[in-house]
Structure 1
Amino acid sequence: MSDLSLENEQATIAVRRRFRGFDAIVLTLVMLALWQAVGSWTQGVAISPPLLTLVYLFGLLRTWMFWDHAAATLAAFCLAFMLSALIGLALGLIFGVRRFAGEVAEPILAGFYTIPKVTLYPVVLLLFGLGMSAKVAFGVMHGLVPVTLFTLGAVRNLPPVLVRTAKVLRLSPGRTMRWVLVPACLPDIVNGLRISFSLSLLGVLIGEMFSSQRGLGFLLVNGMAQNNVPLSTAIVTVIVVIAIAANTLMLRAGRRFARRPDTTAR
């Protein structure tokens, strides 16, 4: 009976994957059709058509200039995302364990999350100046809060018996977070990292638009300033593809971690 149930579950998962693949193909075709319609309607003034964009992008990928700017964006993004993940995870665990501190910090973080970060542009430039540090600061400002809030909420929703067991075993706070809290909260942490990934990338790109002369954000603004529509559209296409691919991979990872407790329970 258990083997039959397992086979039925595997068949259901296979059917769901087929439907998801079909939906993804249909959505891609619809987006390409809309892209082509808007490009044709504006006659390439606001956005270039898909075929023209891909041809321009393939030529752009062969240039050293593109990879130099892409490397600058990648370096700033990796540092910003790493800082957002580490600091956000630490703050979320601390605020989750210390209930009073979490109740005070949560509305402050939520309020900061709703503020358009571009309004803080003069403050960031005053504190960090132009260049790499400003880009990283913009990225951390965007990506820090989601990780903190997701981790905080996950720790709050944990069964109290886990924390009590850690106290009975006389685990230190560091070991409790490492061996008990983080594994139990891993699905929510991955979801927070997934959102932080996109927002950190957005923050770095915004920083490059305002406070840098290197990076994909700078190329985007430069293309808009020079009225180079194919360049701007190609850069946006690269950013969108990277964001969708990373978001899909992290979403799958979150689902896989979320299914682990159920498998263990069985």
Structure 2
Amino acid sequence: MSTVVITHGTRTRHAQRWTDALVLIVVLVALWQILSEALGPDVLTTPAHTVQRAMHIVSDADFPASLYVTSLAFASAFAISAVAGVCLGLLLGARRMAGEVMEPLMMGFYSIPKVTLYPVVLLACGLGLWAKIVFGVMHGIVPITLFTMNAVRNMPPIYARAAKTYRMSPGDFARHVLFPACVPEVVSGLRIGFSLTLLGTLIGEMFASQSGIGRMLMIAMNRNETSTIMALALMLFVFATLVNMLFLAWQRHLTHSD
């Protein structure tokens, strides 16, 4: 009987979550339509026209090549940010003094407008794939590192004492105790790092690339093509939202499992 009640409650929560999401989408689209009519199509295109323009862009023969270039740069940047950020966060979290020294340095670096560092990156990497990857990593690695570091700091001390009791090596402790205990918060860092890495990669393409979706955005901005700008922004928004929903579902699953 209790199992049936729990299952029914879970289904009710899921249905309510989807209902709330649908209502939110309808409200956002309605506000978009109202603002478009108030400001005019030269400032903000309507949702229908934006979707139509997005379908036209996707069907264009040159779009797959631009999508591939952006996807390759973003996937590489996010992989580097995720692996390096998690490893660095675990290390700095386990060594509290090193973490206390590095945290303000990382926050200071992250507060610098990245545009000021673009000339340095361009001189080092040139106009190509590596410049975009570096731009993406610069935006994504810090939040992933900080979230992971805080996850290690917030881990219950009894876990470390139990590892010492069983005389676990540092590698076994990290693999079997430290990382599993920090996974939910690490996923939160990956979710934030994902969005920021995507942002950094696109900005890198806008300023340091001759191809890609970011370059398409820059060309549309220079030509004042509002419909193209809105269509590309809509595609990026939908992609980022769907991936963030997957990260949230993963995080909920991990929390529920705990």
Q: Given the two structures, how large is their TM-score scaled by the length of structure 1?
A: 0.92
Are residues 1:216 and 2:234 paired? no
1:92-128, CA deviations, whole angstroms, 9 ceiling, x for partnerless residues?
1101111110111112222323333223222222222
CA contact (8 A) 2:127 2:210 kept: no
What amino acid is aligned across from residue 33 of structure 1 in structure 2? A
Residue of structure 2 aligned with 1:51, choices 48, 57, 76: 48
Counterpart position of 1:206: 203
Q: Which residue of 1 aligns with 2:104?
A: 107
Rounded Cα–Cα distance in structure 2 between residues aligned with 1:138 and 1:35? 31
Quote the Cα distance in structure 2 between the aligned partners of 1:244 and 1:118.
25
Residues 176-233 of structure 1: CA deviation (Å, up to 9, x unaligned):
2111111111101111101111110000000001100111111111111112222111
Paired residues in the alignment total 258
Distance apart, 1:8 and its partner CA: 2.8
1-side partners of 2:96 and 2:40: how far apart?
A: 57
State which of 26, 33, 36 in structure 1 corresponds to 2:33.
Answer: 36
State the secondary structure of the residue aligned to 1:185. Answer: helix
Are 2:220 and 1:227 aligned?
A: no
Alignment match, 1:134? 131
State, as a whole percentage, how many aligned pairs show the same letter: 45
Q: Distance in 2 between matches of 1:192 and 1:15?
A: 29
Shift of 1:72: 0.6
Q: For the aligned residues, what is the CA RMSD?
A: 1.4
Unaligned runs of 5+ in 2: none
- Residues of 2 paired with 1:212 and 1:163: CA distance? 47
Q: Which residue of 2 aligns with 1:197?
A: 194
Residues 114-123 or 48-57, more deviating: 114-123
Deviates more, 1:158-167 or 1:176-185: 158-167
Normalising by structure 2, report the TM-score: 0.95
Q: Post-superposition shift, 1:171? A: 2.7
Match of 2:89 among 84, 87, 92: 92
Segments of structure 1 that go 5 or more residues without pairing to the other structure are: 262-266
2:178 aligned residue: 181
Cα distance between partner residues in 1 of 2:224 and 2:107: 38
Q: Work out which of the residue numbers 74, 77, 81 in structure 1 matches 2:74.
A: 77
Alpha-carbon shift at residue 164 of structure 1 (Å): 2.6
What's the secondary structure of 1:44's corresponding residue?
coil
In 1, distance between residues paired with 2:145 and 2:4? 39
The alpha carbon displacement at 1:10 in A equals 2.5
Deviates more, 1:141-150 or 1:155-164: 155-164
- 2:25 corresponds to which letter in structure 1? T
More displaced stretch, 161-170 vs 212-221: 161-170
